[in-house]
Structure 1
Amino acid sequence: MNRFISKFGAAYWLVLVFLAGGRCRLVAAPARLEPEMSWLENDRVIVGIDLKMGGSITSVRGKPDGRELVNNYDHGRQVQMSFYSGPVPFVPNGLQPHPAWRALGWNPVQSGDWAGNASKVLEHRNTGSEMYTKAVPLQWPLEGVESECEMESWIRLEAQSIQVRCRVTNRRADRIFYPAKHQEIPAVYTNGEFRRVVTYSGDRPFTGGALNEWLDPGPPWKTFSATERWAALVDSKNWGLGVWQPATTYWKQGEVPGEVGKQGQRDNATGYLAPVALEHLDYNITYEYEFRLVPGSVEEIRALVREWERGRELPQYRFEKGRVGWTLRGGIDGGVPLPGMWRVQAQTGTVFLEGPASFWRADAAGTLKISALLKAQSGRLRVAWKGIRPEEPEGSAVFEVPVGGVRKEHSFVLKGQPGYKGGLQRLMLRFEALKPGEILEVESIRLEP
């Protein structure tokens, strides 16, 4: 979570609050509840969740190392779910958010809120092989305000890895279709000893290329591309906590040095890591993601992910029930679930469709195929792409799209287009020269050789 205060800077009893213009003041925070832990354990790893903190993961230890990896300085740390949407600011029934968090908008957090109030667990089961938890999260920027949603998690162990499935189910009274926001899937905070980030950010994943590493104080947190879809927070010997998130290659990272010699669970020093997805969170959405945690060496983490990623195909998307990670600007759809295709009504002259952060090499994906129907007077499509490095300029090419008729698959040759080369991360479609009210129906989008 991109927190400027107690996510990394709240004292155990006091919160240092930075206000506009760089001023600060101290705000008293309530005492922490005694943990109520539930555990899974095998011969390689131990994982614990705290039922007094919404069921967030508050403990991960690898064997035989035994050191605690997860930081619990306040309710914004842990390994947990955190989601973002509008409005900004979020003022339910006139309740005002803390000034420091006003810009976050609607922000349910699994563990609790900025003031130290804990989210309520509704249901929990531990079968010895799986932990299930359902909780009502609190709004981080407010005090003791429950969110109109529920969070669920399923946790299992497989050898050295911790498999986690997360779900948020919205039941909001506010039905406005808000702009997409970056979601942490999940937010991961480690103890200060494990705050150096290691990953692979090159354009030839799983070929044994040199790793990248950072030790960047924050916030603001830094963004990076994890083209092998994993990253780790490690110590000076390259041992720590790895995170595999197959759904995105766009990540955030940072560290808070804290006080010298204080690097425990209740200390301020921490490492931060989050795979990030740009998503619309509709008033009634059920949104899920999965990830794995791996305590171990960088070599062990990378080798495991290599096996999990084996057989990955070029990006392809079918809009049967959901937007599958795509977002929308310049238009509006009918919400989720989708009726077997993505139907968008233009509100401006250009409808922007933006795909999720992925990875492909241009020389392996020379053709774009879109199954769609454009109900408009003219059909001009600008296909744009973004590389894996922030400094790389966006490339694009313009094509004509037939209008009217029936939905069918259209092919667009990207191979040989200026700037279409190397490793690429994101695909964007811009339907231009539209009139408000005109309709676009998209059934599928895929890249082919």
Structure 2
Amino acid sequence: MENGKTAIDFAEPRGGTFQKYSLRYSSRLPGKGKIFYNIPDGVACETFFLEPGENAVFSSYIDGFLSGASASGIYRLEFLPSESGEAGFSLQELTTEPAERSESVVYLENERFRLGADLGWGGGLCHVEDKRNPDGLQNLLNRCDAGRLIQQSYYGTVDSPYKCAVFNGSTWSYNPVQGGDQYANRSKLVDCSVSSNRLWVKCQPMDWAQNNRITPSYMENTYLLEEDCIRVDNRFIDFSGYRHRPAHQELPAFYVLSYLDQFTFYDGARPWTGDALAVKDQLGFWGDKRASRHCYFTFQEGNTETWCAWTSGESGFGIGLYTPGAETLIAGRFSYNASKDPSDGATNYVAPLRTLCLESFLPLEYSYLITTGDAASIRRTFERRRDFRDNASLQSFVKQDD
């Protein structure tokens, strides 16, 4: 052991040909690991991150798995704790297994919904279809690039030692994004599992404004297909060690077709009573300084009816999002052209916001619901499900005044 680092050399390399490895370990501290293995044209070293735990399990596809990479013969493993103290790291088991590449997009389907997550974009949602919709739309989401979809995105430090990059003419903070970065580099798929109505996916996200810089963090999503809605559970953990600043966090980032041009939400003081809704049908681009002040909508104190919807002004049909505990909504339209094409550059957007300060090594978790229909039916569905989760754990990331 050197400077707290544990190094394990295997006299006999572990594993035949494989695409996935798993560790069973114990550690009192979080840390960074490295695994060394053979590849067809040489050797490779891959970095991973571990949470503290007793008999904990970490599994990962190898780098390049979705591009057809394979490996053999793990010959070295290293672990370095990320915090001071005695980690007491021990490796109980190391296994490997072959894994076949699935299609890039994995679908879940029931009688009403068809849901698609793109594994090549970190498992972000790229497809939501309601088979009953009157417009014949096969997909209500925009998937033009890695920054669209429905996905996790978080904002952190701008302070040294982090070096900011630039996006859209602005200096940009540390910003892990599930789908990838602004240069179309994709996040790494770490692990996933699928059943008839459930998909769990884990990725290592890219830093949005940087060029091909993967973040020391993991995102997990559990998608559950239910009869009248889609439940999404989110988990994010950052291993950077940075001291972050409070920021508006998108819970989640939510991009839909330009065709769904009418934005509806509740901004009153009598939640879940059928009180009048607010409707906005001429929203501008939220990133335009002149228009953005009209794109923020803060919920009144005590308003728990924190859902919203993008619907078609023509048919009234659309898609809704409910994130309990949201404080504000940001919503707008980019290059509006009423396109029904999910790959079009034009899109409409919303994000329920909460001012939170990321904390390294502390998991951030929250959940939201998605459903479809007209505004009235979307509201009824969310009212029935309003107590599914309160997202109270987000309070741990609210920075108190000194």
TM range (shorter): 0.5 to 0.7
Structure 2 residue aligned with 1:291: 368
Deviations 1:405-445 (A, max 9, x none): xxxxxxxxxxxxxxxxxxxxxxxxxxxxxxxxxxxxxxxxx
> In 2, distance between residues paired with 1:118 and 1:326?
30
Structure 1 residue aligned with 2:23: none
Counting only pairs closer than 5 Å after superposition, residues 2-401 of structure 1 correspond to structure 2 as: 36-65=104-133, 66-67=136-137, 68-88=139-159, 91-92=162-163, 97-98=165-166, 100=168, 102-174=170-242, 176=243, 178-214=244-280, 215-220=282-287, 221=292, 222-226=295-299, 227=303, 228-236=305-313, 237-258=315-336, 260=337, 262-309=339-386, 323-330=395-402
Deviations 1:134-156 (A, max 9, x none): 10000001011000100000000
- Report deviation, 1:278: 1.0
- Report deviation, 1:285: 1.7
Aligned-partner residue type, residue 153 of structure 2: S
> In 2, distance between residues paired with 1:88 and 1:233?
36
Aligned-partner residue type, residue 328 of structure 1: Q
Structure 1 window deviating more from structure 2 (228-237 vs 303-312): it is 303-312
Q: Secondary structure at the match of 1:52?
A: helix
> In 2, distance between residues paired with 1:299 and 1:99?
38
User: Are residues 37 and 167 of structure 1, via their aligned partners in 2, closer, same or farther at CA, if it must alter by over 3 Å?
Assistant: same
User: Are residues 41 and 186 of structure 1, via their aligned partners in 2, closer, same or farther at CA, if it must alter by over 3 Å?
Assistant: same
Q: Secondary structure at the match of 2:165?
A: coil
User: Are residues 235 and 117 of structure 1, via their aligned partners in 2, closer, same or farther at CA, if it must alter by over 3 Å?
Assistant: same
Q: Secondary structure at the match of 1:309?
A: coil
> In 1, distance between residues paired with 2:179 and 2:252?
13
> In 2, distance between residues paired with 1:261 and 1:247?
31
- Report deviation, 1:91: 4.3
Deviations 1:114-172 (A, max 9, x none): 01111110111111121010100000010110001000000001112010001111111
Q: Secondary structure at the match of 1:206?
A: coil
- Report deviation, 1:64: 1.9
> In 1, distance between residues paired with 2:180 and 2:167?
18
Q: Secondary structure at the match of 1:303?
A: helix
> In 2, distance between residues paired with 1:270 and 1:81?
18
- Report deviation, 1:306: 1.5
User: Are residues 328 and 270 of structure 1, via their aligned partners in 2, closer, same or farther at CA, if it must alter by over 3 Å?
Assistant: same
Aligned-partner residue type, residue 246 of structure 1: P
> In 1, distance between residues paired with 2:350 and 2:266?
14
User: Are residues 146 and 298 of structure 1, via their aligned partners in 2, closer, same or farther at CA, if it must alter by over 3 Å?
Assistant: same
Structure 2: state its 5+ residue gaps: 1-66, 68-101
> In 2, distance between residues paired with 1:210 and 1:170?
41
> In 2, distance between residues paired with 1:101 and 1:132?
36
Contact 1:91 1:97 in 2 (8 A): no
- Report deviation, 1:73: 1.4
- Report deviation, 1:251: 1.2
Structure 1 residue aligned with 2:96: none
- Report deviation, 1:329: 3.2
Deviations 1:101-126 (A, max 9, x none): 65331100000000111111011111
> In 2, distance between residues paired with 1:139 and 1:90?
15
Contact 1:245 1:275 in 2 (8 A): yes
RMSD between aligned alpha carbons?
A: 2.6
> In 2, distance between residues paired with 1:111 and 1:89?
25
Contact 2:251 2:353 in 1 (8 A): yes
- Report deviation, 1:312: 10
Aligned-partner residue type, residue 130 of structure 2: G
> In 1, distance between residues paired with 2:383 and 2:276?
15
Contact 2:220 2:235 in 1 (8 A): yes
- Report deviation, 1:290: 0.2
Structure 1 residue aligned with 2:7: none
Q: Secondary structure at the match of 1:271?
A: strand
Q: How many pairs does the alignment contain? A: 287
Q: Secondary structure at the match of 2:223?
A: strand
> In 2, distance between residues paired with 1:267 and 1:233?
17
Q: Structure 1 residue runs of 4+, over 4 Å off?
A: 88-92, 310-313
Q: Secondary structure at the match of 2:230?
A: strand
Question: Equivalent pairs: percent with the same residue?
Answer: 26
- Report deviation, 1:294: 0.4
> In 1, distance between residues paired with 2:186 and 2:385?
35
User: Are residues 267 and 312 of structure 1, via their aligned partners in 2, closer, same or farther at CA, if it must alter by over 3 Å?
Assistant: closer
> In 2, distance between residues paired with 1:327 and 1:238?
40
- Report deviation, 1:311: 11
- Report deviation, 1:90: 7.5
Structure 2 residue aligned with 1:384: none
Structure 1: state its 5+ residue gaps: 1-32, 331-449
